[in-house]
Amino acid sequence: MAAHDDVIGKDRNARVGKAQFLDDLRRTIRSTGTVPTKKYAHPMTTNQEIGWFADSRPMTSSTARWHHPLNSTAITQFAADYEKLRGINPFKIKERMKAERKKE
């Protein structure tokens, strides 16, 4: 009878272990989209320590620091005009070669 109780106890432990595993798996799957500061109370790695307590607002492109408009130089303006007139980019050699072959 004792051997039978051991088998029942092992079966019960296996079921409890499996249930615990499934609960942990569900919790892990649900938390995949969560940011680390919401998952854990403290940083888990030294790299996380750097920004752990930083303000969580995203940087916007509206600040002057991140605003870098495209500037046009004489050569880029020439290339743009050339492409408008001829229909090919003067800096793309393969396209130029194909265009010249078509003319011949």
- Please give the DSSP secondary-structure letter assigned to residue 28: H
* pLDDT on residue 84: 92
* pLDDT on residue 35: 81
Block residue for tokens 């303000």:
55
Say if CB 44 and CB 36 are below 8 A apart: yes
Distance of CA 100 to the CA centre of its chain: 43
pLDDT, tens only, 54-104: 766 666 656 677 777 788 899 889 988 988 998 888 888 777 777 778 776
Burial class of residue 34, CB neighbours in 10 A (0-12, 13-18, 19+)? exposed
Round to whole Å and give the CA distance between 36 and 34: 6
Count the neighbouring beta carbons within 10 Å of the beta carbon of residue 37.
Answer: 15
pTM over 0.75: no
pLDDT (average), residues 39-46: 86
* pLDDT on residue 58: 62
* pLDDT on residue 70: 82
Say if CB 66 and CB 59 are below 8 A apart: yes
Q: Is the pLDDT of residue 6 over 60?
A: no
Q: Is the pLDDT of residue 5 over 60?
A: no
- Please give the DSSP secondary-structure letter assigned to residue 66: G
